[in-house]
Amino acid sequence: MASSTKYDEALGFHYAIGHAGTSSDLADFRGSLTMANTFVSSAGTAAGSPADSKLFAATGAFSLEGIGFRYVAAVGGTSADVAYLHGSTTSHNTLYGNQTDASSRSDSHLISSVHSDEVVGFSKLYAYAGTAADVAHLYGANALQTPTDSYVSGINAGGHKYYVDAHDFNATFFNA
C-alpha cells in the first residue's frame, strides 16, 4: 500500500494547536513579518511528556503550538525574533548555531535522535543542553566562552544581526 501525505493549514486564527499523528511528523511554523516572534521548543521528557513547540507574538496577537512532533521548523519574520530551544534529556543533542541559509539568514539546528528543531531568521537564539554529553558547533565572529555558556554574535553576510547562546553544553566548537 502506498503511503499518503496529508497537509493541514490554518489561516487567520489567533490560536492554533496541532498534535502529531506519528513519531516522524513535521511541524512548520511561519512567524509574523510585522510583529516580534518568540519560538520555544522542548524535546519532551523521559517521564513521557511529548515534545512541545510554540511560536507566538509578544503582543498576544497569535499563538501556534505543535505537540508531539519529531521535527519542528520555525521561520522568523522580523529582526526582533527570539528562539529558545531545549535539548532532549534522554538523548545526546548537537547544536549547529548560526549557519547561514541561501537567503543569508541565521539558520540553526538542535538535533537528537528523538527530536529536532530548526530555526531560520531569528536574530537571537538561546539553546539549552539536555544531557551532560551535548555538543555545540557555533558559527560566526565575536566568540566568547564562560564556564556555562558559549556565545557568538555579529552581523552575517546578508546584513542580519545574530546572537547565539549555547548554555551548559559539554563541548563547544567555534567555526568562523
Residue 2 placed within a domain: no
| The pLDDT of residue 1 | 38
- With respect to residue 112, please indicate whether it lies within any of the assigned structural domains: yes
- The pLDDT tens digits of the residues spanning 74-120 come to 999 899 999 999 999 999 999 999 988 777 778 899 999 888 999 99
User: Is there a domain that residue 4 lies in?
Assistant: no
Residue 143 inside a domain? The answer is yes
Q: What is the pLDDT of residue 44?
A: 78
Query: pTM (2 decimals)?
Result: 0.90
Q: What is the pLDDT of residues 40-72, one digit of tens each?
A: 999 877 666 788 999 999 888 999 999 999 999
Closest CA to 23 of 50, 59, 57: 50
The answer to whether position 3 is within a domain reads no
Which residue has better confidence, 150 or 155? Answer: 150
Res 164: pLDDT: 94
pLDDT attached to residue 92 = 94
Q: Examine residue 8 and state whether it is found in any structural domain, yes or no.
A: no
User: Which domain does 118 fall in, by range?
Assistant: 15-175
pLDDT at site 104 = 77
- Total tally of structural domains belonging to the chain: 1
Question: DSSP string of 19-78?
Answer: E-SSTT-EEEEE--SSS-EEEEEE---TTSPPPEEEEEETTSS-EEEEES-SEEEEE--S
* 79's grid cell: 529582526
Is 130 part of any domain? yes
**In this model, does residue 10 exceed pLDDT 80?**
no
Residue 10 is assigned to a structural domain of this protein: no
Nearest alpha carbon to residue 168 among 143, 136, 144: 136
pLDDT digits (tens, 9 = 90+) for 13-34: 788 888 999 888 999 999 999 9
